[in-house]
Amino acid sequence: MANHEKVQSAPLTSGEIFEFTAAVVEQLPRDLDPAKVRYYSAKKSRLGKALRELLAKPQEVINLPEWQDFFRRVLGRNVDLSNLHIPAKPDYLCRPIVNPGCFTPNDLYDACTKLFKTWRYTNDLNVIKDVVSRPATPYVIWVRDTEEADQDMANISANQITERKINTETLSERLIHELKFYDETKKHLDEKNYTLCASSRDPHGDVPGVRWSSVYGKMSVGWCFLDDRHDSIRARVAIS
């Protein structure tokens, strides 16, 4: 079964819950570690977390029809998401970004240009390559569901991000993020700050970034040096 599919099950009855609870008690080892028992008795929240990880329902499923409709309407192409790679969802407020892998940076930038004003520092964004590993199939990344890039990534350069082995949004992922956010809200990301796409590089080794300029009313794709740091230059952490 593909990892994006969801099995619809009937709710558990009280009898099934009782039977399962009895089975758990029956299977408890007879040589319980007193220290562990007392620890989890005192730390019931940690016991609950361990049980949730073992028994909770499958993680949130990505709404594939919604994303396929988005790619069809906004990028003019039917995409196959049947083999979508979905990483575990983090436990903070986040949103999925689906990358089907069939759109180039130029494709994504051109789709933005059809919807609002844009500017780019080079006429060919396809020369920008990713420097992180991503699945060969269509995939999802989880990013914080915030309009501005991650506050805790301020003043951290691309070189520092590489040294610390932090996974961040690529240029293509950031452009998909922009398009999906605009499609949902008719608003733009990063009206105050600048997303440093630290997982991508241009041929000169520089780092692309994206922001919305309220002054000029356009989305801009610019660049930074590897060591550039500023409070307004912030990468977006990606869970992939």
Render the chain in DSSP notation, one character per residue: --TT-----PPPPHHHHHHHHHHHHHHS-SS--HHHHHHHHH-HHHHHHHHHHHHSPPPPPP-HHHHHHHHHHHH------TT-B-PPPPSSSEEEEEE-S---HHHHHHHHHHHS-EEESSS-GGG-EE-S---SS-EEEEEE--SSPPGGGBT--HHHHHHTT--B--HHHHHHHHHHHHHHHS--S-SSSEEE-TTEE-TTS-EEEEEEETTTTEEEEEEE-TT---TTEE--B-B-
From residue 118, alpha-carbon distances to 58, 85, 173, 201, 219 in Å are 40, 31, 17, 20, 5
**Per-residue confidence (pLDDT) for residue 43, from 0 to 100:** 77
**Per-residue confidence (pLDDT) for residue 2, from 0 to 100:** 34
pLDDT of 182 > 80? The answer is yes
Residue of 26 and 8 predicted with greater confidence:
26
Confidence of residue 40 (pLDDT cuts 50, 70, 90): confident
Inter-residue contact 208 to 223 (CB < 8 Å)? yes
pLDDT of 64 > 80? The answer is yes
Q: Within 10 Å of residue 113's Cβ, how many Cβ atoms? A: 14
Closest to 201 (Cα-Cα) out of 132, 106, 118, 104: 132
Out of 3-7, 185-189, 195-199, pick the least confident: 3-7
- For 203, phi then psi, to 5°, come to -60, -20
Inter-residue contact 9 to 16 (CB < 8 Å)? no
Percent share of the chain, pLDDT over 90: 73
